[in-house]
Structure 1
Amino acid sequence: MDAEDLERLTRVSSDSFAYSYGQSARKLPKRIVLVRHGESYGNVDESEYTRTPDSQIRLTTNGHAQATETGKQLRKLFDEDFSLHPYRVFFYISPYRRSKETALGIARAFDDDAISGVREEPQLREQDFGNFQDASRKKLEKRERQYFGRFFYRFPDGESGADVFDRITIFEDHMVRDIDAGRFDENTNMVLCTHGLTLRLFLMRWFHWTVAEYERIANPANSTPIILERIDDPTVNKGTFHTKELYRLSAESMKGLRGISDVMARCVLYTGPHTTPFAW
């Protein structure tokens, strides 16, 4: 194929581009709530990683209290949304013990009939830093990561941030397809119990942040809910927009993400001259 013909294939006029994201079955959950696990023994003593598999590190007493308090906060938020009754809560959880314990602490705040499902998702696990960790070597590697870049640096026998991004992309694709297929009610609050770096990479993928934007975001505090709210604007034709474009970070959640800007709190997927970015 000539270069000229190849170039012609990449030029699609707005008149011939009439793709519609919305499906008749699609039902958008009310919220997507991301929660970093509560305080763990690894958070208060990094030597814990030298003797306990990362997947088995537990919450501290304070971490359990944080999870319980987060459950109360979310219950209060959901109860006060009078447009959303009866509501449902669906959990996606990392298989790591501290994530499961956090999810359990949150779930105890809700009546059993409010919880519509729980799904363990290994793709939501923590970044793999290697197996049992040598404390002195890991300190040097983390220092090296600061010079190399947190996104691309790969720990020996472990993962880079880019590796985690790739598996989070697969998870989000599955989750969005489930939403688009109508597998959740519009009164559903999705709660994802995961880890700090994984949570930030979820947001990077969802809102299409650049690597530079990701690099300047810090982890939220343990057990702090980061909430993506459905955009309920009656003037918006939801059939025109991708599912990701129909959510934005709540103002309170933005306060919990040091380094974020207003433009990073929503997603606009440009698909051609006919598309008008949101003005919200």
Structure 2
Amino acid sequence: MTELAWLGVLRHGQSSGNVAAEAAEATGLDVIDIPERDADVPLSRLGQEQAEAVGRWFTDLARQDRPEVAVVSPYLRTRQTAELALADLAIPTVVDERLRDRELGVLDLLTSGGVTNRLPDEAVRRRRLGKFYYRPPGGESWADVLLRLRSLLRDLRTDHPDGRVLLVGHEAIVLLVRYLVESLSEADLMDVVRANTVANCSISVWRRDGAVLRPELFNHVEHLHAEGVPPTRQEDVRAEPV
């Protein structure tokens, strides 16, 4: 199977859910006050500005460094990010549900403290199993998300041999694509997670070297600084301490 020439992953811009989750954690609430379902959470105004800054960065790149096709999570905040960031590139954009964020099941909208207070047995089970394998009732583990990402990457390599593909997704998607592309172990991945919070509208890039993709950028936000747009490092709506 022919490898992609270039693979990028763009995390969505700051969302209203990111803002609400940070406020709930900071004030010690059990529940995050978000009226929409997770799939319908929109970008904040700052998130829109971040996505527009990404768009200006893309247009300044040499043609061989720009994506040729974009594959986007169906969630509103990612679709809005893609629309703003890719507005001037005129490239094909496909929505693929395999890029959706991890589903949290019974943990949905609970803060870290909320899980401990309201679902203490789940808090214990999560600590025992660890972030990689813990699956909340009605939700997904990170290993579950990896199964759909493996399928997606296999299809992309088949459909776009030698192509330059941009994925627009979520914090967990960025981390788990890195796990797959760089053949990390669970321990390697957890080291990355502990050392990094993936920034909103950060870009991570792998470029083909011989027969494999090599890392070129990870969690890169210099394009935001260059445009005078503040980067934010807020977790998605999930109660997931490392």
**TM-score, normalised relative to structure 1:** 0.64
Structure 1: state its 5+ residue gaps.
Answer: 1-20, 181-185, 232-237, 257-280
Cα RMSD (Å) = 2.7
Partner of 1:118: 93
Partner of 2:8: 33
Matched, 1:106 2:85: yes
Structure 2 residue corresponding to 1:93, chosen from 68, 72, 79: 72
Structure 2 residue corresponding to 1:206, chosen from 181, 184, 201: 181
Cα 1:134–1:69 change in 2 (3 A) is closer
Q: Give the C-alpha shift of residue 134 in structure 1.
A: 5.1
Partner of 1:248: 214
In 2: Cα distance, 1:30 partner to 1:230 partner: 5
**TM-score, normalised relative to structure 2:** 0.73
Partner of 1:156: 137
- 2:13–2:51: 8 Å Cα contact kept in structure 1? yes
In 1: Cα distance, 2:202 partner to 2:219 partner: 11
Partner of 2:44: 60
Report % sequence identity.
23
The number of residue pairs the alignment matches comes to: 203
In 2: Cα distance, 1:109 partner to 1:48 partner: 36
Larger RCO (CA within 8 A; separation ≥ 6)? 2
In 1: Cα distance, 2:97 partner to 2:62 partner: 27
Please give the secondary structure, in 2, of the residue aligned with 1:216. helix
In 2: Cα distance, 1:255 partner to 1:92 partner: 19
Partner of 2:149: 168
Structure 2: state its 5+ residue gaps.
Answer: 22-30, 222-242
Q: Give the C-alpha shift of residue 189 in structure 1.
A: 3.3
In 1: Cα distance, 2:44 partner to 2:34 partner: 17
Cα 1:33–1:130 change in 2 (3 A) is same
In 1: Cα distance, 2:72 partner to 2:204 partner: 15
Q: Give the C-alpha shift of residue 128 in structure 1.
A: 0.2
